[in-house]
Amino acid sequence: MTDLSSLTLQNQLLTQEVKRRVDQLGAINTVAATVSQSLDLDVTLNTALEVVLQIVQAEAGGISLIDEETQEVVIRAQKGWTRSLEEHPIRVPIGKGMSGRIVRENTAILDNNLDGSEDLAVPSFLDEQFKSIVMAPMHARGNIIGILSIMSSKPDSFAPDIIGVLQAIADTVGVALNNAQLHEATLESENNLTAILDSTTDGIIATDQKGRIRHINEQAERIFGIMRGEVLQTPLREIPIDPKVCNLLLRALEIRSSDYETFEVTLEGGQTLSITVSPVYVEKQVERNGETDGWVIVFRDVTHRRKAELARAQFIAAAAHDMRSPLGVTINALKLLESMIDDPDPTVNEVLGLAQNGVDRLQVLIDDVLRLEQIEAGYGIEKEEVEIIGLLREVARQIKPVLDANQVTLTLEVANDLPPLNLDRQLISRAVLNYLDNAAKYTGEGGHIILRAYIKSETMLHIEVEDNGPGIPTQEQTRLFERFYRAPTTRSVPGTGLGLAIVKSIATANGGDVYVRSSSGQGSTFGLSIKMAQVDPHAASQ
């Protein structure tokens, strides 16, 4: 009977222990299920503390979080205390008091006899008159992020086995709180980013990889008269913006260039926008697939600049017209004077020649300045579908008399599969003629020039003029395309110093750029590059 009684007692104790363990596991699961329902940090803090106190049947409790920036342990939630954290916040330096011991030793502590002799960083804690306390570190991602505490006003309130339960609950709460902190930090970053983007005077639209709107700032809303909430997650092609702008944006996104695209467009109301489309790449842990992760589109209102450029071009045109009248009178006077002299003296002939040469140079200068201003202002630019091969052959015919006069030969190297481009035919012809004219001047008799066109990397069309002339020193090349700049080694050759500046303006107006490769004694290559994004036979109709 004794053995049977002993066995029965052992079974009862084992059953009680199993029930206690099951209850503890259930309590942990309850905490986990409850605190994981919200990503709001304050809600998670208070909910977690309330559930913990119900499960462990404690009178009071608190949750402290570690502030890495200030190196303090800050009590963020409390229940059952007489003091209010809003009126009397508690911040404890890391390493001080009982919390310092928790952080330093990374272990839970239990004290069932608080008598005031404890190492307290906040002496006012004694005013709460707690007699028992259990404190456990909360972990997340292997680090201590805070401390979970339970208290009682009675001594000897907590059994030793509560430490294991509270530690398990603390770690569960710690993970939930860390997730809430990360969510809060993400929201704060998003709010800061939104505030920054909304404060700029430029309109900004960000899309994902498939062209769906991820963000749009207030200025973009004002420019296009749309509401942010109505277009988020909407494909770019479906948002109600000017069709001209939409077509240009879709074309830029479809090309999927690794570089940014910039263009200007005038809306129906007369507003002119400068638009930049930039690809976005996000670093990934796995191998990239070469695709963009989205695009950022920036809209800048340049209406005032556009109006100023047009006004300046119109002023220059008016001034040039006014200058041509007295210039024409001067030319006619020189011709009349020359006809009135029956047997001119050689000195008189020389003076008349100098005067005529000066007038001719002034005429060329006026024409070049007028042309440059018109191009840079976009005044009178008319784009059309242009066959590059036909254009270059026509330019070669136009320059032939100049080349023959200088006894210079020209070779045309043009690929037969060049696609058509949407360009201003007259301006591009002028740019290539300027290059060829310069090459003819500086190459000299018996020289050789190559006019070539080719596609590079399937994204850029290059038109180049290569000569075997004297070349240009490296230190002089950086300023070649500036207005009125003439390299010291070329000043003996007649010119206005505007030819290359005009080429650069033409290239920019047609969505391209210019470049030069040269060295002393090795000849020169002047190039004009145009992005293949310009290729669009139907652009004019769109």
Q: Which of 371, 198, 197, 378 is nearest to 272 (CA)?
A: 378
pLDDT in tens, 127-146: 888 999 999 998 988 889 88
Q: Per-residue pLDDT averaged across 360-387, rounded? A: 67
Percent of the chain, pLDDT > 70?
Answer: 74
pLDDT in tens, 193-240: 778 878 888 888 888 888 888 888 888 888 888 888 788 888 888 888
Cβ atoms 509, 427 nearer than 8 A: yes
pLDDT at position 536 is 42
pLDDT in tens, 235-271: 888 888 887 788 778 877 776 655 666 777 777 777 7
Does position 375 have pLDDT exceeding 50, yes or no? yes
pLDDT at position 172 is 81
Does position 21 have pLDDT exceeding 60, yes or no? no
pLDDT in tens, 60-113: 998 888 888 888 888 888 888 887 766 667 888 888 888 888 888 899 999 999
pLDDT at position 427 is 82
Cβ atoms 526, 438 nearer than 8 A: yes
Helix 388-405 and helix 425-443, axial crossing angle in degrees, nearest 10: 30
CB atoms inside a 10 Å sphere around CB 373: 20
Amino acid code (one letter) for 135: M
The set of long-range contacts for 354-359, using a CB threshold of 8 Å and a minimum separation of 24, is 356/331, 359/327, 359/330, 359/331, 359/334
pLDDT in tens, 295-327: 888 888 888 776 776 676 666 666 666 666 676
pLDDT band at 11 (very low <50, low <70, confident <90, very high): low
pLDDT band at 9 (very low <50, low <70, confident <90, very high): low
Phi-psi region of 32 (alpha: psi -120 to 50; beta: other; left: phi over 0): alpha
CA distance 415 to 132: 90
Antiparallel, parallel or unpaired: β 213-216 and 203-208: antiparallel
pLDDT at position 461 is 83
pLDDT at position 367 is 66
pLDDT at position 137 is 92
Alpha carbon separation from 202 to 151, 297, 421, 452, 471 (Å, rounded) = 56, 10, 30, 40, 44
CA distance 52 to 169: 8
Q: Which of 421, 439, 441 is nearest to 516 (CA)?
A: 439
CA distance 225 to 363: 49
In this predicted structure, which of 103-107, 271-275, 282-286, 290-294 has the lowest mean pLDDT? 282-286
Q: Write down all domains in the chain, each with its CATH number in brackets.
A: 22-186 (3.30.450.40), 200-301 (3.30.450.20), 381-542 (3.30.565.10)
Q: CA torsion, points 329, 331, 337, 338, in degrees to nearest 10?
A: -160
pLDDT band at 360 (very low <50, low <70, confident <90, very high): low
In this predicted structure, which of 34-43, 47-56, 516-525 has the lowest mean pLDDT? 34-43
Amino acid code (one letter) for 251: R
Average of per-residue pLDDT values in the chain: 77
Phi-psi region of 283 (alpha: psi -120 to 50; beta: other; left: phi over 0): beta
Q: Residue 404: enclosing H or E segment and its boundaries?
A: helix 388-405
pLDDT in tens, 176-192: 778 777 877 888 888 88
pLDDT in tens, 425-471: 888 888 888 888 888 887 878 889 999 988 876 677 888 999 888 88
